[in-house]
Amino acid sequence: MPYNPIFLYGSSDSLPKAHTLTAGPVNCQYENGVLRYLRVGGAEIVRMIYPTVRDANWGTAKGVIRNERIDQQTEGFAVSYDWGIDDAGVQLDCRITITGDGAGTILFTFKGLARNTFRRNRIGLCVHHPISGIAGKPCTITHPDESTSSAVFPEYVSPHQSFLDILAMTWSMGEGYSVRVEFEGEVFETEDQRNWTDGSFKTYSTPLHLPFPVEVPAGTDIEQRITVSLIGSPTSRSASEKTVTLTFLEESRPMPRIGTCLTLTTEELQLAEKIRALPFSHGRVEVWLTKPDWADTLRQAGHQAKALGLPLAIGCHFGVNPELQVAALLDLLSTLPQPPEALFLFQGGQPVTTPVLLQTVLPQLRRHLPACRLVAGTFTNFAELNRNAVDGMAADAVSYAVQPQEHAFDLRSLTEALPAQADTVTTASRVYPDKPVWVSPVTLRKRYNPYATNPDNRFISPEQQTDPRQPSLFLAGWTLGSLNALASAGASDITYYETVGLRGILTTNRLFPVYHLFQKIAEFAPERIGLVQVNDPLEVSALHLLRGRELLLLLANHTNVPQEVQLSSPVNGQFSQLGPEGWEEVAGYQHVDSLALSAFSVALLQSTTGAR
């Protein structure tokens, strides 16, 4: 029976069946055509190996797996399947084989045959390297001419390719061994995927300095191979049972201001009372000053924000003559029911806030709106801010958007993206040390594609922005993890999702689980966020909120199996779990040193005494 590989969107609260495979000292997981989490003992050496095809607009062509065989042998394993693509103008038949032997050597082979002529930006195999345990480690790169060079996996998010012209890469894991990854069939290079909040470094082909897209004629054969091997003998060869532990740290951070995006719909006004019950400090709206209806949009946004009790944050998208447009903008802003809380300054077609906006438009806005925060940055991914310098001295904050589905769409990859969100804030704070970091907005899918070859394909339709997992319990847990990551790293403001609808937090007929999460935060009214450490953030996230001596500990199980979470110090509190209708008490006030979380659950432990 054919089924969709991991590149397709998963169902709302499900994970595909993962097969645990072993090859000598290496254990890993195989699912839906992808090899994941290669570990030696408890150390992750490779995060993922998989095939991919990216079309001329950097879209991922979707395929179907057939004839899959999975064979775990005494010392190793063998996996094979056919992967057929007929999507995005690409017709490609592939044969994939994956083997592992008793020495821990993994071989992943891709053989493809083009059935039609198509254009591609990338085709073949990719390797993801974990951030934790790898960042900061020296790495030896072997180049196609057999020369070698020394490099380091970056600690902060690297704006550009970390390693170039790769034939092989080798790094030490300590514990008596090193890892070597060899590449055949193409020239590879490595980028820091945290630029798009993917939780990995990625080694891929073809090098980006080569022209793209490239035409692939019908009948073309494509073959690539990746070999992962161990050098030396690991002192720890078997993975022990690992308990999820949560450690309370002594540090804390100010609670960031949380906002949302306005939809400017009648439904939004009808649900105003429920929206006002949430902890939102602002409502964001995009105003494209090049569109003929921009003034109507801004007037409606002003009145709608007033009705919702939300200060207005406006994404101002100027055209080629911003000096003329700013006068009209200021005139209209003066007529709104309340002055704006913030203005984000963008110029159409440019990756980041331009010098003309900072030098010409911003001073005028500052004179007329002295209390308004003026924000520089990008409308899209952190990559744009990281790769394009912004003179942020005159701005009050820097900003970028977050969405976890630039490259992968499954639940595991979305969870992997959570720690990377913290790294973007840390890196932004390093580049702009005196500026608050405003992450806005956080959405489940991208709203805009700055990498599309055809500019007409850069704006994404509302339907394509909509993810069926928005109303899911998984999304509530993911949001919990996102808020912890961004706030713990020091983000000053965060904008989440939309108010109402299928990209929002509620509809006329339903309060989504994420609504109940935000409502609980509003009810508790935290002053600070306490830093915590979870030893396996791919399984559980925690959010530790503080108000005086009271605490609210929120937990999310990102997996489809129950998790037991051990607390580093006991808490006296009441345990509740998020159900279909809201928070349901599980246990009354008691002394708690561990918590049992069911699959994909979101739970809380609240203490009114502060005892811990």
Which pLDDT tens digit goes with each residue over 508-540?
A: 999 999 999 999 999 999 999 999 999 999 999
| Residues with pLDDT less than 70, the chain | 1-16, 236-241, 609-612
Domain 19-232 belongs in CATH node 2.70.98.10: yes
pLDDT at 1: 26
pLDDT at 5: 34
Residues 201-222 have pLDDT tens digits of 999 998 888 888 999 999 999 9
Cβ–Cβ under 8 Å, residues 259 and 280: yes
How wide is the angle at C-alpha 420 spanned by C-alphas 458 and 567, nearest 5°? Answer: 145
How far apart are alpha carbons 545 and 531 in whole angstroms? 9
Number of other residues whose CB lies within 10 A of the CB of residue 355:
10
pLDDT at 610: 57
How far apart are alpha carbons 251 and 531 in whole angstroms? 6
Tokens found for residue 562: 């129950």
How far apart are alpha carbons 322 and 303 in whole angstroms? 25
What Cα–Cα distance (Å) separates residue 590 from each residue in 361, 362, 582?
Answer: 58, 55, 21
- Look up residue 400 and give its amino acid: Y
CATH tag for 252-524 (out of 3.20.20.100, 3.20.20.80, 3.40.50.1000, 3.40.50.2000): 3.20.20.80
Number of other residues whose CB lies within 10 A of the CB of residue 295:
16
Domain 532-607 belongs in CATH node 3.40.50.720: no
Return the H-helix or E-strand segment holding 382: helix 382-387
Domain boundaries, the chain: 19-232, 252-524, 532-607
pLDDT at 479: 98
Cβ–Cβ under 8 Å, residues 190 and 201: yes
